[in-house]
Structure 1
Amino acid sequence: MNAIITPHAGNWEEVRHRLDQNAAFNRMRGTPYYRDAIYEQFSAAEYKRRYDALRAKMREMGLQAAIVPGGPSHWSWGGGMLWLTGHWEWHALACYVLVPLEGEATLVYSMGGTHCEATRREVAAAITDVRGSRGGKYAEVMIERLKELGLERARVGLLEVDPRHQDHMPWNQVETLKKGLPHAEIVMTHGIMHELLSVHSTEELDCVRQAGKLVQAAMEALVERARPGIPEYKLRAAAGAAILEGGGDIDFLIIGSTPMADPAMVFGNPRPSQRVLQHGDIINMELAASYRGYTAQIGSPVCIGQPPVEVSRFWNEIAKPGFELMAATLKPGANIEDIRKAGEFFRENGVQSRPIHAHGIDLVSDGPHIFKEHAHAEPFEQVLRPGMVIMPEPNPITPDGLLGMFVGHTYIITQDGAECVDDFPLDLIVAE
């Protein structure tokens, strides 16, 4: 007869001879597996700062517990789950950190078994209680933990999985929480993580700088690979390999090409295709890389062969000076409206642009969002402060709407100005 494995069983000595049993394998813990794995970690003080900041916000909102998700989508990029644990998720829509106002936090991770053991090693500096979801039963696992903590009647806040699109925990998980905790108050919250991430710590900024090196390496690899006869997707492969080789993760690689003599592209292709590069093409791109969850972005047009006069003029008289005007506004105390006004340069000079001119970065693209027509920001981000990360990314477009040039670099707002996190030249690059 097989032994019954309870939800919290799975200690190594109990399961090591029964690894062919699903229950034993999936609930294992305390194994010697991955004991030699090495992960760069934030300091204990940094993680304490993060949990203290979240709990202060919870007290302000009257929450006894918070469920903090994070997923693999661009608008989440790990979200609060990554911020609190160091784990970036790719197996599930989201994983969740249950944070009580008092007591130990719990990461409910998508997988069990060896996957979960590896994750325990990965997050060891931040959190020690890591539990598998038992095949997607996230809410059931969190109910058990809340009961262990005596929080059956707590006011529990649900943070967004995807704050940009305001998506929360799936309905089935919420329903399970409500049925399993009939006396608890389950409330949806909005914007907590972005507020906590709007201004970065010293350790976080070091990761942004490293991400800047990664996107520069990706740009350099793309330029090196850009030759007639090469399909667009191989530019993506070259840029992606440079990011991975540098120890980072790929956020997005938007790359497209069009003939300079007969253009039909204002922005890079979010889905790089099998189109083969030809002499006389121009490549538009926006590349984003992540280092330990913190992203930097970059983009600058690349020509295959010498550009015609009208393309060079568009760069020298429109794209480059328009970007420089926006970058010059980046300093502490500046209002985001200053960035928006700088973008009026394009219409004043007889051209148009994509609507978006600049945005902030917390873990990934987020507020403030500066458009040609208006600027949108929460009260805490309307004025630039040291530690904020801003991505000016004007994309001027010719009056006929057929040729655009995306130009973007990532900046850290400092005490006396702004620091660009890459050294890629602000030039119209020619790849012969």
Structure 2
Amino acid sequence: MSLTLNQNMVDNDWLPPFSVQEYERRFDLVRAGMRESGLDALVIYGAYSYAGRDLGHMNAVYLANYAAFGHSFVVVPLHDEPTMHIPFAEHVPNAKDLSCLTDIRTLGFTRIELGVSARLKELGLERGRIGIVGPLNSWYSISIPAEHRDHFYEELPEAEFPVVTELYERWRLIKSDEELEHQRRGASINDAAQEAVVNATRPGVSHHELSEVGYATAQRLRGNSAYIHMSSSPMASGESTYPDPYPTHKPVGPDEIVMSEHVAGFGGYYGKLMTTWFTGEPTRQYREMFDLAAETYRAALAELKPGMTTDDANRLIEPVARAGFTVSLPLVSGWSAYNSPPMGGWPSSADEAVRSRMSRPMEFEPGMAVRLNVAPRTLDHRRGLWVASACVFTESGLESLHDYDPAALRIVAGD
């Protein structure tokens, strides 16, 4: 199988390169899955981001180590050289510095699909079975734009185009040593940024100012923050279950609950801390909720191990339902900034529609990187908090990648 990779990738803070051997491993892994699934090629679409400095393009980046401005395609034939198709000719030199691929092509922003269909014809795949991989996780049900799909159908009417995003996720589910090294470094950066945010919390400081402390700390350590959701609200009124995706200039006040979803990392391999702290002694209900979340988190961290399944995760989160609360996110979900497989762990009180949409029955294996999250909220969805960190399944158990303990109660000065 033909594979010519860039031997001189330039170091950078956006997409720091792995070894050539790591990219060879990835292509071997993906092509083995393609053979097993009867696919002649993959067309991987790159797009979307979660704000902050998240680059998006997560499935394209895995094989190309590049995220184009706007959108992109990576064409991976079973036997021939892969190609990357990006919108702007002016960006090609930078892409050639950063990407592990050597064949990078462009026909312009609105004609990117023409380059893909031309490449597929060049490969002789007019009657091929060409798997479509979407830009995000499969549960989003996003594959490629309708205009691109229609173009491929018109240009290659005898080819098949099954959507195989979920298969692609399975192929890359177990992280390599190099990937985990990036993720551990990302978690360490996240720890430092989160500590800085908590230490900067005081009445009068704005949510925006706190998020900027996190962004600046991560950047100083060669990391980047996909996003920092950040807000606070008075414990007395109890009208918050989720921090603001775009932090505002609202100030933190005394006797408030502060929540953040802090995703900082290294090269797209993020730590993930979903944390709660207070600017005064927690009220009785918030203290009960936090203690429940902390105890459930610690029990799950201690008990989960390879060989267990998402059904076991359901059991471990059930104390939330017994205490009269529910959740909107599962106990276990996938790695990094994104909610992806393995995904499971719902209490019986959870909304069935949400649970069915965000469940992927699975057995846990060593090397799976996940987020462990306990996020109780009241049944009327007025009060809520969370305790979560990025973890990895080892040979013997589940290990948090963070030194920062999200289950530790933190009360900062309230005046």
Establish whether TM, by shorter chain, passes 0.5.
yes
TM-score by length of 2: 0.86
Using a 3 Å threshold, how does the CA distance of structure 1 residues 341 and 412 change in structure 2: closer, same or farther? same
Partner Cα separation in structure 2 for residue 365 and residue 157 of structure 1: 22
Work out whether residues 186 and 269 of structure 2, in 8 Å CA contact, stay in contact via their aligned partners in 1: yes
The residue number in structure 1 matching 2:5 is none
Partner Cα separation in structure 1 for residue 9 and residue 97 of structure 2: 9
Tell me the amino acid that sits aligned with residue 143 of structure 1. Answer: S
**Structure 2 residue 363 is the aligned partner of structure 1 residue 383:** yes
Paired residues for 1:55-74 under 5 Å? 55-74=31-50
Partner Cα separation in structure 2 for residue 256 and residue 284 of structure 1: 6
> Pick from 329, 334, 337: which aligns with 1:361?
334
The residue number in structure 2 matching 1:22 is none
Work out whether residues 344 and 360 of structure 2, in 8 Å CA contact, stay in contact via their aligned partners in 1: no
Which whole-Å deviations, capped at 9, do the CAs of 1:396-429 have from their partners, x for residues lacking one? 2357754322110111100111221111133111
TM-superposed CA distance for 1:308, in Å, is 4.7
* % identical aligned pairs: 24
Work out whether residues 358 and 390 of structure 1, in 8 Å CA contact, stay in contact via their aligned partners in 2: no
Work out whether residues 231 and 277 of structure 1, in 8 Å CA contact, stay in contact via their aligned partners in 2: yes
Work out whether residues 64 and 101 of structure 2, in 8 Å CA contact, stay in contact via their aligned partners in 1: yes
Partner SS for 1:287: strand
Work out whether residues 329 and 338 of structure 1, in 8 Å CA contact, stay in contact via their aligned partners in 2: no
Larger Rg: 1
> Pick from 64, 87, 91: which aligns with 2:66?
87
Work out whether residues 311 and 344 of structure 2, in 8 Å CA contact, stay in contact via their aligned partners in 1: no
Paired residues for 1:249-260 under 5 Å? 249-260=224-235
> Pick from 162, 166, 175: which aligns with 1:187?
162
Using a 3 Å threshold, how does the CA distance of structure 1 residues 416 and 186 change in structure 2: closer, same or farther? closer
> Pick from 186, 211, 230: which aligns with 2:205?
230
**Structure 2 residue 95 is the aligned partner of structure 1 residue 119:** yes
Partner Cα separation in structure 2 for residue 213 and residue 268 of structure 1: 22
Partner SS for 1:194: helix
Partner SS for 1:430: coil
Partner Cα separation in structure 2 for residue 305 and residue 132 of structure 1: 56
TM-superposed CA distance for 1:313, in Å, is 4.7
Tell me the amino acid that sits aligned with residue 414 of structure 1. Answer: T
Unaligned ranges ≥5, structure 1: 1-34
Work out whether residues 82 and 293 of structure 1, in 8 Å CA contact, stay in contact via their aligned partners in 2: no
The residue number in structure 2 matching 1:267 is 242
TM-superposed CA distance for 1:340, in Å, is 1.4
Matched residue count: 389
When structure 1 is superposed on structure 2, of 299-308 and 367-376 the one drifting more is 367-376
Tell me the amino acid that sits aligned with residue 81 of structure 1. Answer: A
**Structure 2 residue 194 is the aligned partner of structure 1 residue 219:** yes
The residue number in structure 2 matching 1:328 is 302
TM-superposed CA distance for 1:117, in Å, is 0.8
Partner Cα separation in structure 2 for residue 332 and residue 186 of structure 1: 35
Partner SS for 1:412: strand
Which whole-Å deviations, capped at 9, do the CAs of 1:64-103 have from their partners, x for residues lacking one? 11101222334993232110011134x21x3111011111
Tell me the amino acid that sits aligned with residue 271 of structure 2. Answer: A
**Structure 2 residue 132 is the aligned partner of structure 1 residue 155:** no
**Structure 2 residue 396 is the aligned partner of structure 1 residue 420:** no
Partner Cα separation in structure 2 for residue 57 and residue 390 of structure 1: 22
**Structure 2 residue 265 is the aligned partner of structure 1 residue 285:** no
Partner SS for 1:288: strand
Partner Cα separation in structure 1 for residue 331 and residue 313 of structure 2: 8
TM-superposed CA distance for 1:393, in Å, is 1.1
The residue number in structure 1 matching 2:78 is 101
Work out whether residues 79 and 193 of structure 1, in 8 Å CA contact, stay in contact via their aligned partners in 2: no
Which whole-Å deviations, capped at 9, do the CAs of 1:352-372 have from their partners, x for residues lacking one? 032323233245321223222
Tell me the amino acid that sits aligned with residue 279 of structure 1. Answer: P
Tell me the amino acid that sits aligned with residue 154 of structure 1. Answer: G
Unaligned ranges ≥5, structure 2: 1-7, 349-354
Partner SS for 1:315: helix
Using a 3 Å threshold, how does the CA distance of structure 1 residues 347 and 170 change in structure 2: closer, same or farther? closer
TM-superposed CA distance for 1:257, in Å, is 0.7
The residue number in structure 2 matching 1:17 is none
The residue number in structure 2 matching 1:177 is 152
Partner Cα separation in structure 2 for residue 159 and residue 245 of structure 1: 34
Partner Cα separation in structure 2 for residue 377 and residue 265 of structure 1: 25
Partner Cα separation in structure 2 for residue 295 and residue 88 of structure 1: 16
TM-score by length of 1: 0.83
Work out whether residues 48 and 56 of structure 2, in 8 Å CA contact, stay in contact via their aligned partners in 1: yes
TM-superposed CA distance for 1:292, in Å, is 1.9
Using a 3 Å threshold, how does the CA distance of structure 1 residues 208 and 37 change in structure 2: closer, same or farther? closer
Using a 3 Å threshold, how does the CA distance of structure 1 residues 390 and 250 change in structure 2: closer, same or farther? same
Partner SS for 2:110: coil
**Structure 2 residue 316 is the aligned partner of structure 1 residue 342:** yes
Using a 3 Å threshold, how does the CA distance of structure 1 residues 267 and 187 change in structure 2: closer, same or farther? closer
Partner SS for 1:41: coil
TM-superposed CA distance for 1:248, in Å, is 2.6
TM-superposed CA distance for 1:131, in Å, is 1.1
**Structure 2 residue 393 is the aligned partner of structure 1 residue 407:** no
Using a 3 Å threshold, how does the CA distance of structure 1 residues 151 and 225 change in structure 2: closer, same or farther? same
Work out whether residues 359 and 365 of structure 1, in 8 Å CA contact, stay in contact via their aligned partners in 2: no
Using a 3 Å threshold, how does the CA distance of structure 1 residues 71 and 243 change in structure 2: closer, same or farther? farther
TM-superposed CA distance for 1:195, in Å, is 0.4
Using a 3 Å threshold, how does the CA distance of structure 1 residues 128 and 397 change in structure 2: closer, same or farther? same
Using a 3 Å threshold, how does the CA distance of structure 1 residues 261 and 51 change in structure 2: closer, same or farther? same
Using a 3 Å threshold, how does the CA distance of structure 1 residues 290 and 193 change in structure 2: closer, same or farther? farther
TM-superposed CA distance for 1:108, in Å, is 0.6
